[in-house]
Amino acid sequence: MNTGGPVLVSVNIYLRSISKIDDVNMEYSAQFTFREEWNDARLAYGRLADENTQVPPFVVLAASEQADLTQQIWMPDTFFQNEKSQRLMHAIKVFERLEARRHLIDKPNVLIRIHPDGQILYSVRLSLVLSCPMSLEYYPLDRQTCLIDLANAYTTDDIKYEWKLKNPIQQKEGLRQSLPSFELQDVMTDYCTSKTNTGEYSCLRTKMILRREFSYYLLQLYIPSFMLVIVSWVSFWLDKDSVPARVTLGVTTLLTMTTQSSGINAKLPPVSYTKVPDIFFCKKKEKKIS
């Protein structure tokens, strides 16, 4: 492919929404506008201008459901490395769960703009389900880093990705506070270029730092647990000869704590390491038994 150096592809992302952050499947949903810019000298129509002919400042390729704009000109074969499904659909199928899709209402949300010097802007709105490996040792006091990695099948001899110098990542207003159980603390750009036996492959990475909101767990887990311990202290005021009442209260307290612990773990994947709630309930059971 290479005839005069690699094609430089400038990338910009406009984050619209982040949702469905799934701790069990370790994935999340994101909707964003993905923009690429590169130069194709074959499409430079400015050279056609003369004294009698004026050329427009840019040409927009018309989008329709019947015509796929991506097949009309050469484009980088960009894909998202951590996408759960590698299919980009043109329609939503009713009987099949599809994780990635383009938007078609009321017209395909795709824009291709060609400038006189051959500079091309490609913009498309996408909804993706992306994997997000999580470390849950400090759950629910944890911070997670979710990624958007994009790359292509050509080596850096043919294509190189680079972040747009000004505002490479833009965010919709209110995005940081729109998540019910997380707060988007920061969004950063990075590179994830990899080397294999077949060559070096350019890769761009978006890092999203997410902090879990603690208020839900305070109200649903910690405060009820402390109240349960306080209730268990009633056994100290019971008559020492009231053995059935003291045993019943103690066993009920332990069973309730076990149920709470199981309820929390049911919302998490089965991991081999110890989490904060495990230590919390273990200590409370230890105090209760002692």
Tell me the per-residue pLDDT of 104-159, one tens digit each, with 9 for 90 and over: 666 778 889 999 999 999 999 999 999 999 999 999 899 999 999 999 999 999 99
Q: What is the mean pLDDT of the chain?
A: 83
* CATH 1.20.58.390 intervals, the chain: 216-289
CATH of the domain spanning 216-289: 1.20.58.390
Q: How many angstroms separate the CA atoms of 92 and 102, rounded? A: 9
Tell whether the model's pLDDT for residue 250 goes beyond 70. yes
The pLDDT-based confidence of 263 (bands split at 50, 70, 90) is confident
Q: What is the mean pLDDT of residues 76-92?
A: 70
Nearest-Å Rg of the Cα atoms of the chain is: 28
Q: What is the pLDDT of residue 96?
A: 39
Taking domain 7-213, whether its CATH number is 3.40.50.1820 is answered by no
Beta pairing partners, 12: 35
Global pTM value: 0.79
Tell whether the model's pLDDT for residue 290 goes beyond 60. no
CA distances from 62 to 59, 68, 127, 165, 212 (A): 9, 10, 22, 28, 43
Which residues touch 89 (CB under 8 Å, ≥6 apart)? 98, 100, 101, 102
Lowest mean pLDDT among 12-26, 87-101, 147-161, 257-271: 87-101
Q: What is the pLDDT of residue 245?
A: 79
Find, among 232, 75, 85, the residue nearest to 153 by Cα. Answer: 75
Q: How many angstroms separate the CA atoms of 80 and 152, rounded? A: 8
Any alpha helices (H) in the chain, and if so which ranges?
215-217, 223-232, 243-265, 276-289
